[in-house]
Amino acid sequence: NLDGSGEVVAVCDTGLDTGDANSIHPDFSGRIHAMLSYPINSYYAPYIKNPGADDGSADLDSGHGTHVAGSVLGDGSSSDGLSGTEGPIRGLAHGARLVFQAIEQEMKWEDSSYYGSIGRYLLSGIPDNISTLFADAYAHNARIHSNSWGGGDPGAYDAQSEQLDRFVWEHKDFCVLVAAGNDGTDQDGDGKINPMSVTSPATAKNCICVGASENERSNFNGEQYGLWWSDDYPVAPYRNAPMADNPEQVVAFSSRGPTQDGRIRPDLVAPGTFVLSTRSSRIAANNNAWAAFPGSRKYFYMGGTSMATPLAAGAATLVRQFLRRDKGIANPSAALIKATLIAGSKRLPDIGNAGAVCDNEQGFGRLDLDGALAPQASSAIEYIDVAQGLSTGEIWSREILIQSDAIPLRVVMAYSDYPGEHLVNNLNLILTAPDGKRHVGNASGDGTLTMDANNNVEMVQVTTPLPGSWRIEVVASNVPQANQEFALVIVGALGQPDESGLIRAESKPGLAIPDQDPAGVYDAISLTQAGRIRTVAVEVDIRHTYIGDLKVDLISPAGTQITLHNRSGASKQDLHGRYEVQSTGALAGLIGQSIAGEWRLSVSDHARIDEGTLRSWTLEIAPEADEWEELKAAPALHIPDNDAQGIYHTLEMGRAGAVRELELQVDITHTYIGDLRVVLSAPSGKTVTVHERTGGNRDNLIRTFDTGTTPALSPLIGESAKGEWTLSVSDHAGRDIGKLNAWGLRIRF
């Protein structure tokens, strides 16, 4: 069961109930990780009497922030026993902890007319650089960030968009969700919602932009778009349409794409009308937002993409928990979380072009967690983070086995692009069927094979896939800011996957081969991927009138020279060949060498008269598979206060071999982590201290230590893995107490 336990979510909004963790709404009690408030931006100083003021984290006006937070992670404790509900009124991630960032402040205007024209409370605490919000949340261990606010020119990529993209580019494990906006209208009266109404920061490339689909609330069927907003929806079909009777429909007011640079918006949609969630106790007694909830004043109904976004943020939190806990991906990227949500989305019918996988009303479809994490019977899902990335011209590929045509094949690629308007790094997704038919990402549905050069999310869906071996390729078409990491999610009737993870790079030099010149010519391909070679293959395309004159050699970055062709073939014309370890045994000499570096192909002519051209060549390398073993336990041991002996727990590794890499995950709840010492002991008795009374008065130590980023673990590299691994946790000062909830090890052999 997934409830967000072990995860920290940040919500940036108006405020949270009382603003005091000791008197907060019961649905958040005990799970406030931090509450932050941001003062009035200096931009407003000339217009107000209270420049720089900060009235704290309380939700005093609309109740917007309290409602949003409840949809993410409220635990529903106030709804126990209420009539009129089918279950608790709670958020998806009701076990997660909350970092709340309050950005609404009371404005004391110099010009009193502004109270009527602008309002008393504004989101005036938003910093000039919104990466400040992200950095603060990240420092408090939040890796999911929900934002139900925005504005600016429709479709524009502005400074806030760039700031968001830059932060995620630099912190690829930080998943930001942003509401698309509520500016969808039919003001021209043609019966269609006008395009390009999405606003910043939802126009950023590296966020999950969330639109709204209708909820299903039969008790509100009398509420119609035209009755609420007659100028925006003057004619059918929206004027008399109920707002919450068809979950297969995109909400009329949900902002549409594309962006001004042609990118798809939103990414997906989630329910956004008459959403029931927590109500702030500090707002006016007569404030019922969209509608009061008869059963309790602790809840009410609201609507908007603001309400859809926290539902998606709660889902993203569960995805992260699932990937970490169930799939052993210790630190999943934001791109992988995004790809997972999109891979599970349900396409709404009768919207967009028939056969298309995405459009600018619903994006890739409506949020569906079952589709993302628990697929239908006989199907499976693979979740892949490719952290080594690609440079221009490189190709990542793998073979998958499809066992049945009864289950659609769906592949989603997503990546966090370099900041800047338009797509900077362009990766393309290509699938090749067993019969050779190709499918490209984000196909329009009209049968054309046009590569997508605008979006950093691509999907291929094949409704009735041909059983057999399919090839998935991610092609680095243009990567000026290398290396571009990416994530893939594969859904279908998958057989045993091939774990090769092929690297494929092609060069088309068009080099003339000089006649009777043993020095010849050479061309180079540079690879940046880490790792060692498991197998290697080379394809060449040489135009020549007498291939018996030719010698062709491959030179590895280590300087090893392998002869692929040595003056055979006599008078045959043109050399089109593929050389593999099985057919060219000398290539086996490269196995185990490093992949990264400059690979050269040398072509020389050793007789007179005939000439030719090296048209192209391709290098294909399968890296050694990483072999990881994982151990985990949830001992729930209480840590005695001010006791240097502390507690310990052991895990038994049954596999023999030396440690190449190690990850240590700990989940410790404690009210003052500056009291704690955490020590890991290997089977040999060698010990390392990973946490030595740092962190001051911060709560809870929930993190992953690894040999790549934690120097203290380095002495364990090369240690024998087999035997008992022991984690010791001790408290070295009085007053504060805690518990070792869970811990685990991942060891690479």
* Nearest one of 628, 666, 707, 661 to 329, comparing CA atoms: 628
pLDDT bin (cut points 50, 70, 90) of residue 501 is confident
CATH number at residue 667: 2.60.120.260
Which of the residue ranges 342-346, 500-504, 574-578, 665-669 would you say has the lowest mean pLDDT?
A: 500-504
Residue 282 within a domain: yes
Interatomic CA distance for residues 605 and 275, integer angstroms: 74
The structure tokens 């073993």 sit at 629
Q: What is the mean pLDDT of residues 471-481?
A: 92
pTM over 0.75: no
Question: Which of these three, 277, 300, 332, is where a domain ends?
Answer: 332
CA distances for 422 relative to 172, 258, 388, angstroms: 19, 12, 24
Please say whether the beta carbons of 293 and 302 come within 8 A. Answer: no
Task: Name the DSSP letter for residue 424.
Answer: S
440 plus 565 within the same structural domain: no
172 plus 102 within the same structural domain: yes
Radius of gyration of the CA atoms of the chain, in A? 29
Q: What is the pLDDT of residue 577?
A: 81
Task: Name the DSSP letter for residue 151.
Answer: B
Q: What is the pLDDT of residue 624?
A: 74
Question: Which of these three, 478, 498, 518, is where a domain ends?
Answer: 498
Phi/psi for 530 (5° steps) reads -80, 170
Residue 339 within a domain: no
What is the dihedral sign for C-alpha 182, 184, 186, 192? negative
Residue 739 within a domain: yes
Please say whether the beta carbons of 118 and 28 come within 8 A. Answer: no
Residue 395 within a domain: yes
Per-residue b or e along 354-390, where b marks 16 or more CB atoms closer than 10 Å to that residue's CB = eeebbbbbbbbbbbbbebbbebeeebebbbbbbebbb
280 plus 251 within the same structural domain: yes
CATH number at residue 80: 3.40.50.200
Domain count, the chain: 4
320 plus 290 within the same structural domain: yes
Q: Which residue has the higher pLDDT, 444 or 255?
A: 255
Q: What is the mean pLDDT of residues 307-324?
A: 98
- In the numeric block, which tokens belong to residue 689? 């201290």
Q: What single string gives the DSSP state of each residue in 170-185?
A: H-TT-EEEEE--S---
181 plus 282 within the same structural domain: yes
Q: What is the pLDDT of residue 496?
A: 64
Q: What is the pLDDT of residues 614-662, one digit of tens each?
A: 999 999 998 876 667 889 999 999 999 999 999 999 999 988 778 888 9
Dihedral in degrees, nearest 10, Cα atoms 698, 699, 702, 703 = 0
Please say whether the beta carbons of 433 and 380 come within 8 A. Answer: no
Residue 255 CA from chain centroid, whole number: 22
Secondary element (H or E) of residue 344: helix 334-344
Please say whether the beta carbons of 485 and 333 come within 8 A. Answer: yes
CATH number at residue 470: 2.60.120.380
Interatomic CA distance for residues 172 and 556, integer angstroms: 32
Question: Which of these three, 623, 655, 680, is where a domain ends?
Answer: 623
545 plus 558 within the same structural domain: yes
Angle 250-253-257 from CA coordinates, rounded to 5°: 75
Helix 334-344 to helix 305-325 angle (10° resolution) is 110
594 plus 732 within the same structural domain: no
Question: Residue 468: pLDDT above 90?
Answer: no
Residue 106 within a domain: yes
Q: What is the mean pLDDT of residues 667-696?
A: 95
Amino acid code (one letter) for 444: S
Residue 531 within a domain: yes
480 plus 568 within the same structural domain: no
Residue 431 within a domain: yes
511 plus 421 within the same structural domain: no
Which of the residue ranges 78-82, 101-105, 209-213 would you say has the lowest mean pLDDT?
A: 78-82
Question: Residue 344: pLDDT above 90?
Answer: yes
695 plus 548 within the same structural domain: no
Strand partners, 102: 13, 37
3-state SS class at 437: coil
Which of the residue ranges 11-15, 171-175, 235-239, 574-578 would you say has the lowest mean pLDDT?
A: 574-578
Q: What is the pLDDT of residues 543-584, one digit of tens each?
A: 999 999 999 999 999 999 999 999 888 888 888 888 887 567
657 plus 615 within the same structural domain: no
Q: What is the pLDDT of residue 517?
A: 92
543 plus 569 within the same structural domain: yes
Question: Residue 388: pLDDT above 80?
Answer: no
Residue 346 within a domain: no
Question: Residue 400: pLDDT above 90?
Answer: no
Q: What is the pLDDT of residue 514?
A: 92
User: Which residue segment(s) compose the domain that 127 sits in?
Assistant: 8-216+246-332
**By percentage, how much of the chain surpasses pLDDT 90?**
79
